[in-house]
Chains A and B, each alone.
Chain A
Amino acid sequence: MNKLLIVDDSSTMRKIIMRVLRQAEISVDNILEAGNGVEGMQQLASHPDVGLVLSDVNMPEMNGLEFVKAIRKSHAKDKLPIIMVTTESGQGLLTNALEEGANGFVCKPFTPETIRSALEPFVG
């Protein structure tokens, strides 16, 4: 995995995810950050080699579902996997996100094992 993009309006959660990725021994060369979907799209435009996106759902400006929808206009599901990392575990929300093109979910709070299981299919 060359580049991974973390999109979350909480800088705390972005740091926690980075720490958990290290604990889970997931090897990533470069981790990019964004505070909402708009910034996430800007990061993807600047870094077309991003190989995996982790995104929150409940964010200002452009929320996670809108972000997934925007990504899928230009990136196929098998080319750029998106994992939603969310406190919202409602079945309706999860189904909506999958229909919009998300590849999987991690619910907060999470352990390193949870992150590893969710990301394993997408990282080398």
Chain B
Amino acid sequence: MDDHQARAAGALADDLRASVQQVLTTMVEGGCDCLGADAAAPEARLHAQVEFQGAHRGVLSVVCDESGAEDLARGLLMLGPDDPLGPEEVADALKECANMVAGVLKTRAFGSDGDARLSVPRLQSAPAPAGALLWRVRGGTLAVALRRDS
């Protein structure tokens, strides 16, 4: 990686961090804490992905273990620890979180008129990508990563 590529990768990492922060602080009751990239990644139980298509190709991943995904869902829906919450609601909340982060990142990184399109979010079974940025949401841990393909 040359200097130009390194600067671009650093700027994109900053945009990703700011995008996650914006979504979690605006939408999740209780907010979040960034743990950086060095903390232990959660065991991948739920992994939501959104593809960037067009000129800026890549994949955004949001990965949680089961308790982390439930914490995220309860935070988004403003539910208490004893409120009922089903597995489908947990999975949908993780996908919507990935969708919002991808949308904010698209505008921050590629501009409001950039040639990037977003796929509908979907669940994957793959583990958390290496180098994921980790966040504490309520009691759980959330890993977020962007893989660039172009």
Q: Which residues of B contact A109 (CB under 8 A)?
A: 22-23, 26-27, 100, 104
Spot the interface stretch: B35-43, B112-120, B130-138, B141-149.
B112-120
A contact residues, range: 20 to 34
Tell whether A10 is near chain B: CB-to-CB under 8 Å: yes
Interface flag for A55 (CB, 8 Å): no
Q: Give the residues in chain B near A16, CB-CB below 8 Å.
A: 27, 76-77
Contact A87 B100, CB 8 Å, known A9-B120, A58-B118: yes
The verdict on A12 contacting B26 (CB below 8 Å), with A87-B104, A89-B112, A90-B114 known, is no
Contact assessment for B113 and A60 in the assembled complex, using a CB-CB cutoff below 8 Å: no
- The docked-state distance in angstroms from the alpha carbon of A111 to that of B103 is 16
Chain B residues packing against A (C-beta within 8 Å): 22-23, 26-27, 73, 76-78, 88-89, 92-93, 95-96, 99-100, 102-104, 106-107, 112-114, 118, 120
Q: Which residues of B contact A10 (CB under 8 A)?
A: 92, 95-96, 99
Question: DSSP majority for the A interface?
Answer: loop
Contact of B26 among A15, A89, A111 (CB under 8 A): A111
Query: Nearest Cβ in chain A — how far from B72, in angstroms?
Result: 10
Docked-complex contact A12 and B118, CB < 8 angstroms: no
Interchain CB contact under 8 A, B112 and A12 = no
Q: Which residues from chain A sit less than 8 Å from chain B, CB to CB?
A: 9-13, 15-16, 19, 58-60, 86-92, 107-111
Return 17 A-B CB contacts under 8 Å, by A number.
A9-B120, A11-B92, A12-B73, A12-B93, A13-B96, A16-B76, A16-B77, A58-B99, A60-B120, A87-B99, A87-B103, A88-B103, A88-B106, A90-B106, A90-B107, A108-B99, A109-B100
